């Protein structure tokens, strides 16, 4: 796959061609939450939840635009099929409800890549990610990761490809101190938990690899069968930040993943703005 | 080294160093410490068995310690099943209000908790099982520090469970009438010998190795 033709050729800039790289929008002198997402609803932004499936029609989730499942075929290769099972254990529905609560008018899609406990998890995840990127989702919520280093190169290529295609991947950091992917890649937006109750409050971490902290403890989330449960974890912090990303992109659709991450940096609760 | 050679070496080491009882004691000690640190009424380590897609109690401290080891249930059930699949630690203050809680399963075990802390036991890509801590004091906070502590114990429990699983797996290659079973029996017999007989046994094994391994023969 290639990046959009409008960006090529882009390896160098010849003299006198500066006008050809005029940016689509200007930035304010001070990037504030009000500028970033004030009045935004997520409208026009497509968010894909890469997880255990999503229960479409759940009161906290609403309609799901499209649901696919990545399954292993007879020879063990990943295959994308239309999903008729919905959510197989509730995790994807919980994340989706959070995204919807922050960005009520975003469009949600579901790619089910989780199933039985140890079954081909990493390969299905990578195939699901590839599908979501090719479908042009602006935000992909990945509240999951893999420690399988055999897929490191593939995942790296996929996240870079997403980055250049203007797909922002919001990925959950491991809940225990262990190296896993893709959240460690700098091309994605990685998220851990904080304990505050404000769903719109997030912090930038000055000591990555975890780059942002969002609400992740004791959250009322959607559950299968139209229900609700209380749960905690970086998965849900990730969903909060995916929702914020959907808000920002609905108001500023021209932003690239690099610019979106910059906007998050400048609107984080621990950013101190100083007049110049 | 081939996989079968590796298994035999591990099995011989395991038969010399530790039997099933030591493995059980190791897991039990992790469960005991987890229960003690959290001041809980019970703690348990469950192993995920892929073949039957079940979780099996391997070690239990506190309530159920005398009766639960060996009990099994479907891996898709209960809080432990959710934790294993979500790969995320979980604290539920009141399980009676939570649809993930499998009340009937708990009743079968003879103890129905109110509060559950659970964490997946992971070794790389594999979900090995679940560590559960039942009914820590109700007023104990359940924030990030608590989850981190639970995660630390889960890591230790996962290491212990991995060691036990590998030893069991390798040991099974040497059990019964298998072609290589004699290696394990010889290793165990040697460990029981002392003095001149042990020295003679070691010389005999060294000579046998010279005969069987062409790289060492003269």
Q: Which domains does chain A have, with CATH numbers?
A: 41-267 (3.40.50.200)
pLDDT at position B66: 83
Q: Helix, strand, or coil here: B213?
A: coil
The residues, any chain, with a CB within 8 Å of residue B141's CB and separated by 6 or more, are: none
Task: Report the percent of chain A where pLDDT is more than 90.
Answer: 76
- E strand or H helix that includes residue A179: none
Are the Cβ atoms of B48 and A235 closer than 8 angstroms? no
Q: Which residues contact A228 (CB under 8 A, 6 or more apart)?
A: A60, A220, A221, A222
Quick check: B126 and A52 CB within 8 A?
Answer: no
Inter-chain contact A235–B53, Cβ cutoff 8 Å?
no
Rounded to an integer, what distance in angstroms lies between the CA atom of residue A43 and that of residue A218?
28
Who wins on pLDDT, B176 or A137?
Answer: A137
SS3 category, B92: strand
Q: Which residues, 6 or more positions from A255, have their beta carbon under 8 angstroms from its beta carbon?
A: A248, A249, A263
C-alpha torsion B36→B38→B161→B21, nearest 10: 20
Chain A CB contacts of B126 below 8 Å? 118
Which residues from A are below 8 Å from B85, CB to CB? 52, 89, 91, 114, 116-117
Report the gap between the CA of A55 and the closest CA in chain B (Å): 16
Measured between beta carbons, the chain A residues lying within 8 angstroms of B75 are: 116-117
DSSP A269: T
Q: Which residues contact B97 (CB under 8 A, 6 or more apart)?
A: none
Q: Is the pLDDT of residue A181 over 80?
A: yes
Report CA torsion sign: A128, A130, A132, A134: negative
What region, left, alpha or beta, does residue A226 occupy, with left being phi > 0 and alpha being psi -120 to 50 degrees?
Answer: left
Predicted pLDDT of residue B8:
62
Interface of chain B against chain A, CB under 8 Å?
48, 50, 53, 75-76, 82, 84-93, 98-100, 119, 122, 124-127, 142-144, 147, 151-152, 154-155
Q: Is the pLDDT of residue A178 over 90?
A: no
> Running DSSP on this structure, what letter comes out for residue A5?
G
CA A74 to chain centre: 31
pLDDT digit string, tens, across residues A30-48: 899 999 999 999 999 999 9
Facing residue for A117 by CB, picked from B85, B92, B143: B85
Q: How far is B112 from chain A (nearest CA, A)?
A: 19
What's the pTM?
0.85
Cα–Cα dist A139/A170, whole Å: 7
CA distance A229 to chain B (A): 6
Q: What is the pLDDT of residue B105?
A: 85
Question: Which pair of structure tokens corresponds to residue B123?
Answer: 């070794």
- In this prediction, residue A1 has a pLDDT band, given cuts at 50, 70 and 90, of very low
Neighbouring C-alpha atoms within 13 Å toward the C-beta of B189:
11
Residue A88 and residue A115 in contact, taking contact as beta carbons nearer than 8 Å = yes
Task: Spell out which residues of chain A touch residue B99, defining contact as CB-CB under 8 Å.
Answer: 223-225, 227, 229
**pLDDT for res A2:** 44
CA distance A121 to A116: 9
Buried b (16+ CB within 10 A) or exposed e, B91-118: bbeebeebebbbeebbeebebbbebbbb
Distance, CA of B3 to CA of B90 (rounded, Å): 36
- Closest of B154, B142, B29 to residue B83, by C-alpha: B154
The token duo for A266 is 């400048």
Q: Give CA angle at A174 (A209, B126), nearest 5°.
A: 135
Chain A environment of B98 (Cβ under 8 Å) = 229-230
Higher pLDDT, A177 or A21: A21
Q: Are B99 and A123 in contact (CB under 8 A)?
A: no
Give all domains of chain B, ordered by start, each with its CATH number.
18-170 (3.30.450.40), 181-212 (no CATH)
Residue A256 has pLDDT above 80, yes or no: yes
Cα torsion angle, A34, A50, B125, A222, sign: positive
The whole-angstrom separation of Cα A170 and Cα A142 is: 6
For residue A3, what pLDDT band results from cuts at 50, 70 and 90?
very low
Inter-chain residue contact B90 with A193, CB threshold 8 Å: no
The residues near A58 (Cβ < 8 Å, ≥ 6 apart) are A93, A96, A97, A222, A226
CA atoms within 13 A on the CB side of A259: 16
Does the pLDDT at position A5 exceed 60? Answer: no
The nearest CA of chain A is from the CA of B201 a distance in Å of 45
Mean pLDDT, 10 residues at a time, over chain B (218 residues)?
60 60 88 95 94 93 90 92 89 88 86 93 90 91 87 91 80 64 76 88 89 72
Q: What share of chain A is helix, strand, coil (3-state, %, to 5)?
A: 30, 20, 45
Cα–Cα distance, B55 to B69 (Å, whole number): 11
A188 pLDDT higher than 80: yes
Cis peptide before A9 (omega within 30 of 0): yes
What value does the mean pLDDT of chain A take? 92
Cβ <8 Å between B48 and A234: no
Q: Look at residue A161 and tell me whether its pLDDT is greater than 60.
A: yes
- A242-272 in b/e form (b: 16+ CB < 10 A) is bbbbbbbbbbbeebbbebbbebbebbbeeee
| Closest Cβ–Cβ partner in A90, A91, A175 for B89 | A175
Among the listed residues A91, A125, A50, the one whose alpha carbon sits nearest the alpha carbon of residue B120? A91
Q: Is the interface score ipTM higher than 0.90?
A: no
Each residue of A53-106: pLDDT tens digit? 999 999 999 999 999 999 988 888 899 999 999 998 899 999 999 999 999 999
Chain B residues close to A123, C-beta within 8 Å: none
Alpha-carbon distance A20 to B27, whole Å? 66
Q: How far apart are CA B75 and CA B46, in angstroms?
A: 10
Chain A neighbors of B122, CB-CB under 8 A: 147, 176, 178
């Amino acid at each position: 796959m290639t990046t959009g033709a409008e960006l090529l050729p882009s390896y160098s800039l010849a003299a006198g061609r500066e006008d050809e790289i005029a940016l689509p929008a200007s930035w304010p002198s001070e990037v504030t939450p009000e500028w970033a997402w004030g009045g935004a609803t997520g409208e026009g932004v497509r968010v894909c939840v890469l997880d255990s499936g999503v229960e479409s029609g759940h009161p906290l989730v609403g309609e799901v635009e499209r649901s696919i499942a990545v399954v292993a075929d007879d020879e063990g290769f990943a295959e994308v099929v239309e999903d008729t099972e919905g959510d197989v254990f509730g995790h994807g529905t919980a994340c989706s409800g959070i995204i919807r609560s922050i960005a009520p008018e975003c469009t949600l899609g579901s790619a089910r890549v989780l199933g039985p406990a140890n079954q081909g998890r990493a390969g299905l995840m990578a195939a699901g990610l590839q599908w979501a990127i090719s479908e042009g989702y602006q935000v992909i919520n990945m509240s999951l990761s893999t420690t399988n280093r055999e897929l490191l190169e593939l995942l790296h290529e996929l996240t870079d490809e997403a980055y250049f295609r203007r797909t922002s991947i919001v990925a959950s950091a491991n809940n225990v101190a262990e190296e896993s992917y893709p959240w460690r890649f700098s091309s994605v937006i990685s998220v851990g938990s904080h304990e505050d109750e404000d769903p719109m409050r997030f912090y930038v971490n000055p000591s990555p690899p975890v780059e942002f902290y969002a609400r992740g403890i004791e959250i009322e989330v959607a559950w299968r069968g139209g229900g609700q449960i209380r749960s905690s974890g970086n998965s849900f912090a990730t969903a909060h930040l995916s929702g914020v990303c959907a808000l920002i992109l609905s108001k500023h659709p021209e932003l690239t993943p690099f610019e979106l991450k910059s906007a998050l940096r400048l609107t984080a609760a621990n950013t101190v703005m100083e007049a110049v | 080294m081939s996989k079968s050679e590796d298994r035999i070496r591990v099995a011989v080491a395991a038969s010399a160093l530790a039997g099933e009882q030591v493995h059980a004691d190791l897991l039990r000690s992790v469960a005991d410490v987890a229960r003690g640190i959290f001041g809980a009424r019970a703690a348990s380590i469950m192993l995920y068995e892929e073949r039957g897609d079940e979780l099996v109690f391997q070690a239990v401290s506190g309530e159920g310690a005398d009766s639960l080891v060996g009990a099994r249930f479907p891996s898709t059930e209960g809080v432990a099943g959710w934790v294993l699949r979500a790969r995320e630690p979980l604290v539920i203050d009141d399980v009676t209000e939570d649809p993930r809680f499998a009340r009937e399963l708990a009743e079968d075990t003879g103890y129905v908790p109110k509060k559950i802390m659970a964490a997946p036991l992971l070794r790389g890509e594999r979900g090995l099982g679940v560590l559960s801590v039942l009914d820590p004091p109700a007023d104990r906070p359940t924030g990030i520090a608590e989850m981190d502590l639970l995660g630390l114990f889960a890591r230790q429990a996962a290491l212990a469970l991995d060691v036990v699983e590998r030893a069991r797996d390798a040991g099974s290659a040497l059990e019964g009438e298998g072609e290589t079973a004699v290696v394990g029996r010889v290793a165990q017999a040697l460990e029981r010998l002392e003095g001149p007989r042990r020295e003679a046994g070691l010389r005999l094994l060294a000579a046998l190795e010279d005969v069987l391994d062409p790289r060492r023969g003269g």
